[in-house]
Structures are given as structure tokens and as C-alpha cells.
Amino acid sequence: MATEQQATGIGSAEAVLRAALGSMPYGFSIWGEDRRLVLWNQHYEQMYRYPPGALQVGLSLFEICELTVAVGNHPGFTPERLHAIYQQRLDEASDPLSPLQAQKAIRGQVIKTSHVRSPGIGWIITHEDVTQEVEGQWMADLREKALADQNMRFDAALAHMPHGLTMYDGEWRLVICNQRYREMYDMPPELTRVGTPFQKIINYRRSIGATPVDGELDYVDQVLEATRAEGTRIQTYRMPNGKVISVHQSPMPNGGFVAMHQDITRDIERMEALEASRNLLANQNMRFEAAVNNMSQGLCMFDSEERLVICNAPYAAIYTLPPELVAPGTTLTEILEYRFEHGSVPKLGREAYVSSRRKLVTDRSAAKEDVEMEDGRIIAIQHHPMADGGWVATHEDITEQRQIEARVRHLARHDALTDLPNRVLLREEMEKLEARIQRQECVAVFCLDLDHFKSVNDTLGHGVGDKVLVEVAERLRKASRETDIVARLGGDEFAILVQALDGPRGASALAERIVRSVALPIEVDGHQIQIGTSIGIAVAPVDGKDAETLLKHADMALYRAKGEGRGNYHFFEPGMDEAMQHRRLLEQGLKVALERGQFRLVYQPLVSLADNRVCCLEALLRWDHPERGLISPMEFIPVAEETGAIAAIGDWVLHEACRAATAWPEHVRIAVNLSPVQFKKPGLVASVTEALAAAGLPAHRLELEITETLLLAETETTLATLHRLRDLGVRISMDDFGTGYSSLSYLRAFPFDKIKIDRSFMNELTPQQDSVAIIKAVIGLGQSLGMATTAEGIETEEQLAVVREQGCSEVQGFLFSPPLPASGVDALLGTLRPDRKIRRREFAEQT
């Protein structure tokens, strides 16, 4: 609208213009050459909803853009962007002959603008609201398009329907039939033309084998019936190819009908599968129930309301619950009440039990617990909370299991024969005592060993032996006090842990009592048996402060007691320990002696009495200990045998001895001592073969000396090894003959090449003594068996005279030579003559 100043400036003509402008049916605005607003009418102002007074003469194009954006005419536009568009419009409308027509949408309205360029004035723009016209046109377009679309869609839908569709008119002639229908029945095209009679189509369908699944009723009749009934009729067909088609016929008012043909093969299959899985589930449930009820444990499941969901038969059995209490829905409280009333009461009392169960439920924690019942049963309960607030628990009566475990535990700690505690339990008890020993309490450990028990076993049999042991156990138990622990350590070894002693004197008194008691004759199966016992005693804390030491010291004392004659007791003494210490040093030293080259061999000649020549040299082992000096083989070989070090040492001796012998004249053999332990490991034969091969020594120049201890446990393998050694060509000598009990019998077991009569026989060798008779017998035996005989330890001319007279073939001893180092052997060989004997002092062993 024009302002006051405008009105005064233009006069009454202007009033006319204003009225004219105001009555125009459209909006009107004039823009000057400077593109600023000059004139406008009310329509214009309203159309764009400019607030009254906002429009001013001289408003720039940009300012109008700002205004129009501010009032919300162009959502999403910035004034800048709009300005660019408006500028362009004005530019484009610069030709006065062709006004620019444009449309713009303002808040859902469509406004048509027409820009006219009027040189000298600027631009005259008319604004016309054409919303309604536009909408009318659009709707018309839309409707037309929709109809076309619908037809198209209908055709497409019909063609692409998943179902077959047919429609018949009042005369039952085909009106519509879709592609799917043709495919379903594989219809020839001439049968699906519009106007084909229904009967013709039915005939065709029958001819291809489409048969109704239920009822023989003629299809046509059915359709008729359906039409009469004016309801949908459903009929199912099975096709020869296995497809199942269901047909829905619906009558139409004109007497015709529509039929929908649906391939339901898949549905049927799905239904069948569903049925099968239902059966499977039922089966599974059955199996689940069987499994649950056949569990060895009781099982129960409660929901978050503490109501029973399920429980099995063993659960009911453990607490003897009646059927009504195992029904789902029973509350935990009901079950507990019943249990407590009917005797299934836990030892810890009902309150404590209930609160402990409740705590599990509220804590929602998994737990495992063994509950002892008042009736003595032990029930193992495992509680597992479930996500829904309930829980599953298993209950198992483990009473029997516990009893078995207790029995097993007892057996593991007791001796089966006497039921006395065994070594394990004794150790445990002793370890408990250590604290008391630390407090200077006096405790003693007795180690006992029965005298002559082995001969009882050997002569009267194990049955009698066992009864003797049981009786001895009983006597030991009686002789000692309740607090003492009498244990059987194995065989005929016992131990007693004596507590709260008033000193060694008390220990002596007890030991004497025991010795006397065991010495009393024992009657078993009509035999009067007399055995005895030897006792070693270690007293804590003087003789040791821990179980290990005390037992060890008592054992050492026992050896001393036995050594001093049986039926005796002996206290531990510090010297005994030194002996053990010494032995331990030997053991450790032996481990490294070989690799440190501390061993060497010396050789002692064996002289043949036939020609007074050295026929053989016996290799004897020497250990030069860095601290202790020379150690005798008598001392270290038993230790090496026990630790197993003898295997490597013996192997070294074999190699070294064979090597040394190669330097000697052909007729001189080398004798090597073998330990029984070397026979226990495989590889002895290989070791001997290798030693010979490495040295290049013929086998017949090697003699192997074994002692009868090897044959004590005469096994097949020992004899086989001996035979294999002999098969190599090596000679085998029986060493130290006569020291054992059954030397003679061993001569029958193996064809030895030589018997070496032990030097102990030579000691008391005078012509009147028994030993002469023995030597005579042995030499005679050797001669008749074709075995050579060597007399060991010949020190005097007298001894030599005796053995020579008895026909001994070889002699060995200090009379001829002590063992010599290798260098001494070289000097000796060839020089030894019967008249020029080598004396000790001449070839003193270099040690």
C-alpha cells in the first residue's frame, strides 16, 4: 500500500490509481530501475503476508528477500539465495515484449508471477494465486493415471498371482483364466480360450490324473452343490507329480463362479514336518523324563517364588517325600516342614539349615555342600541359581561313598595285615609332633626289626609268618601306652613313636619291656615259635628335631643293636651319623670321580703253578680321592652299586683293562671283576664286545670274575647273559668261592672256566685244619668239572705248599706280588721266576 508521503506527492490522480490498484484481483508491485520497491497494492502485501508497515518505498530487492524469508515464505532458503533468484528473474525479464512468466510456491500456495519490463519505469510484476487451478489440473491428471495404473496392475496381478484363477459365466463358460492356472494344470491353449465350457476343462483335468483327495463326488456336482449352497466349497486334488492343489469355488450372483487354485504342496510338507517335530519333541520329553528319573542324584528345580517346578524320583526318595509333595507348585517351605517332621533332619538343626538354604536363594550364588543328617546319612547338595530367580539343586546320598573313602583313607595309612598305622601315618603323626619337640618335649622313636623272622617264613610258610606278625603287633601295642603310636613299616620292621617321655631312662624301660615281651614263645598252628626283636632308639630333641632325622637315626641305632647280637636295643650315637655322612660324601664323590679321572687300575698277577709263569693279571680298581686320598674298592664299590654308578665305572674298567692287556705277551690274560649290578642292566654283552674291539684284544684273553651273589637270584636272563659272554670266547671265573652258603650248587648252574677259592680259607691254612679238606674237595671238584682253580690270598710259603700239593692250578697273593700299577706290570712280566719271587717291598703298590 502506498504511504502517506507518496499520496501527498502524487495528488488525486494517485488516489484513482490507488483505488484501481486496490481493486485489481491480483497482487501488483513496481520495481524501479535501481531495483528498489516503488509501488504495490494490498493484494501483494497480503499474498506474501508481509506485516503491515513492513513494505516501504525504496526497499531494496535484498531487503524484500530478507523480509520474505523472515516471514517464512520460503522455508529452507537464505535471503542471499533468494536474492540471486530474484535478480536473475529481473535480468531475464529485460525484454519488454516478452513478459517473464514464473511460478513459485509459497507455503503450499502456487503463485504465478509475470514480470514486464517497462523502460524508464523499471519492472511491473503481477502476482496471481493459482493454487486452485493448479490443484484441479493435478487431481485430474492423477485420477486418469491411477485408473490406467490400476488396470495395468490388475492385469499384472492376475498374471503373476501365486494362485490359479478362473471365472465362469452363468453358462459355465470360461471368462477369465490366468497364466498360473495354465501352468498348474499344464493346460493346452485351446482349452483356456474365453468361452471354453467348464465340462471340457474338467474332462481334461481328469485325463491328466488330478484326483480329488477326499470323496468320489463328481467335481461338477460339487460345484453345483456349492453354487446352490451359495458358499465357498473347498476341494483338494493330488496330481500325479505329487503336487497337492486346493481349489476354492465361490458362486457368483449371475450363476457363474470363481475358482482359486492353490498349490499347497509346500504347506502340506510343512505341516508334516511340524507333526514330525512335534513327535520328536514328545519323544524328547519322554527321554528327558526318563533321564531325570534315572539319575543317581536327586534333582529339584524351584522357581523364583520358591515353588517346585520339577523334581525327580531320587529326590523324593532321599527325603521320603509323598507324591503330593513332589507335585509342581509345592513350596519349599512345605517340603522342608514335611522333611523335618518325618525325620530328614540335618545335624546342624532345622533353623540353621533353613537359614543356610535361604541364604543361598537370596544370595543367588552357586554352592556345593555336604549336609550331615541326624540319621547319619551324608547328603551332597549342589545349588545352582537360574537367571529367572529360581534355582536347580542336586541332592545325592553320598553316605556309602564317604564310608568307602574313609575305608580307603584308612587303608592308605594302615597296614592291611596288622591294622597298625603304616609309614605314611607314622610320618604324619611325627610331623605333628615337631612343634612339641621344638618346645623341648621329650619324644623317642623306636625302630624294631624281628630276629629270625625270615627263617620262620622260609620254614613254616607265609601263613604262619603272617600270624606271627599279627601277634607281635598285638604285643607291641600292649607293651606301649595308648598315646604311643605303633606302626608297621613293612616286612618285619616296626616303629614306635613314644610321646611324653621322662627321658632316656623311660625309653630304656619300654625297650626292655618290648624285648622281653616279643621274646616269649608264640604259638601258631601248633608250632612253638621263638623270635626276638632288636630296637634302635633315637630321642628327640637330642638326636634330631624332625621326623626324617629321628627315623633315620633310630634306624642307624637299630643296625648297631643287631650288630651287637640280637634281642638288644641301642640308642643312637653321634658317630653313627658320621658314618652316614661319610657315606653321603662317597656317593657325591662317585658321581664325578669318573669324569674327573680319579680312577685308575692296578694289576695283580695270577701265577700258573704248572710253569711258574704269570698267566693272568687281575685288574683292581683304585680311587684317588682329592681330599681323602686312596679309597679302597671294598668301601666304594658297594656304594657305587647302590647308586648305580657302577655301570659307567665298570664299563670304564673293562675298556681300560683290555687296553692295558694289549701291551702284554699273548699268553697273559686279563681278569676283570664284574658287579652283579652290571648284569641287571641290558648292554653288558655289548659293553664287553666293544671293550675288546676297541682294544683289539682277542676274547680268549679276557676273564670275567663274578661272585655267587650274582647267582643268588638266579634268573634266566643272568644265565643267558653269562652264556652269551662265554659264547664270545670270554672266560668266566667264579670269584670268592666258599664265602657263600651254596657255592657248590652254583657250580652246577653254569660251566665256569675257573674257580677262585676265597682268601679267607688261606688264613688258617695249616695241614691239620678243616680248610685243607675243603680246598682239597674244591680242587678235586674243579678238576673233575674241567675247571681251573686259583687260590687267592697266598701270603706264605706254607700256604703255597698246601695248595700246590692239593693240585691247585693257579695262585695269587702278596707272596708273589701285590697289585701293581701298569708300569710295574711291564717290569714284572718276564722277570718273575719261581725262584725269584717278587716281594712286597720290591713292588710295593704305589698308592
Residues that bind Ca ion (CB under 5 A): 673, 705, 735-736, 792
Q: What are phi and psi of 256, to 5 degrees?
A: -90, -170
Nearer to ligand C2E by Cβ, of 449 and 705: the residue is 705
Nearer to Ca ion by Cβ, of 451 and 656: the residue is 656
813 touches, from ligand C2E, Ca ion, none (C-beta below 5 to 8 Å by class): ligand C2E
We find the least distance from the C-beta atom of residue 421 to ligand C2E, in angstroms, to be 41
Which value, to the nearest 10 degrees, does the dihedral of the CA atoms of residues 750, 751, 754, 757 take?
Answer: 40
**Which residue shows C-alpha cell 661319610?**
582
d(CA 561, CA 566): 7
d(CA 158, CA 155): 5
790 touches, from Ca ion, ligand C2E, none (C-beta below 5 to 8 Å by class): none
425 touches, from ligand C2E, Ca ion, none (C-beta below 5 to 8 Å by class): none
d(CA 112, CA 142): 22
675 touches, from Ca ion, ligand C2E, none (C-beta below 5 to 8 Å by class): ligand C2E
Nearer to Ca ion by Cβ, of 448 and 617: the residue is 617
**Which residue shows C-alpha cell 519490463?**
117
Nearer to Ca ion by Cβ, of 708 and 736: the residue is 736
d(CA 573, CA 543): 8
d(CA 258, CA 733): 121
We find the least distance from the C-beta atom of residue 733 to ligand C2E, in angstroms, to be 10
For ligand C2E, the binding residues (CB under 6 A) are 604, 619-621, 632-634, 637, 653, 673-675, 705, 735-736, 759, 793-795, 813-814, 819
Buried b (16+ CB within 10 A) or exposed e, 621-641: bbbeeeeeeebeeeebbebbb
620 touches, from ligand C2E, Ca ion, none (C-beta below 5 to 8 Å by class): ligand C2E
Nearer to ligand C2E by Cβ, of 484 and 792: the residue is 792
d(CA 750, CA 748): 6
Nearer to ligand C2E by Cβ, of 65 and 688: the residue is 688
Query: Do residues 350 and 375 make contact, with C-beta atoms less than 8 angstroms apart?
Result: no
We find the least distance from the C-beta atom of residue 639 to ligand C2E, in angstroms, to be 12
Q: What are phi and psi of 832, to 5 degrees?
A: -75, 120
795 touches, from Ca ion, ligand C2E, none (C-beta below 5 to 8 Å by class): ligand C2E
We find the least distance from the C-beta atom of residue 642 to ligand C2E, in angstroms, to be 13
Burial class (CB within 10 angstroms; exposed 0-12, middle 13-18, buried 19+) of 162: exposed
- Supply 833's cell numbers: 721266576
We find the least distance from the C-beta atom of residue 673 to Ca ion, in angstroms, to be 5
Task: Compute the 3-state secondary structure of the chain and give helix, strand, coil in percent, each to the nearest 5.
Answer: 45, 25, 30
- Do β-strands 109-118 and 754-757 pair in parallel, antiparallel, or remain unpaired? unpaired
126 touches, from ligand C2E, Ca ion, none (C-beta below 5 to 8 Å by class): none
Nearer to ligand C2E by Cβ, of 183 and 798: the residue is 798
Nearer to ligand C2E by Cβ, of 475 and 701: the residue is 701
We find the least distance from the C-beta atom of residue 459 to ligand C2E, in angstroms, to be 32
We find the least distance from the C-beta atom of residue 529 to ligand C2E, in angstroms, to be 38
Q: Would you call the peptide bond into 541 cis, given omega within 30 degrees of 0 as the criterion? A: yes
We find the least distance from the C-beta atom of residue 629 to ligand C2E, in angstroms, to be 14
621 touches, from Ca ion, ligand C2E, none (C-beta below 5 to 8 Å by class): ligand C2E
Neighbouring CB atoms inside 10 A of 372's CB total: 14
Nearer to ligand C2E by Cβ, of 455 and 846: the residue is 846
Q: How far is CA 467 from the centre of its chain?
A: 47
> Which DSSP letter does residue 812 get?
-
637 touches, from ligand C2E, Ca ion, none (C-beta below 5 to 8 Å by class): ligand C2E
Query: Do residues 255 and 227 make contact, with C-beta atoms less than 8 angstroms apart?
Result: yes
Query: Do residues 510 and 479 make contact, with C-beta atoms less than 8 angstroms apart?
Result: yes
Which value, to the nearest 10 degrees, does the dihedral of the CA atoms of residues 636, 813, 743, 716 take?
Answer: 60
We find the least distance from the C-beta atom of residue 749 to Ca ion, in angstroms, to be 19
We find the least distance from the C-beta atom of residue 622 to ligand C2E, in angstroms, to be 8
Nearer to ligand C2E by Cβ, of 221 and 595: the residue is 595
Nearer to ligand C2E by Cβ, of 530 and 796: the residue is 796
We find the least distance from the C-beta atom of residue 681 to Ca ion, in angstroms, to be 21
State the DSSP string of 778-793: HHHHHHHHT-EEEE--
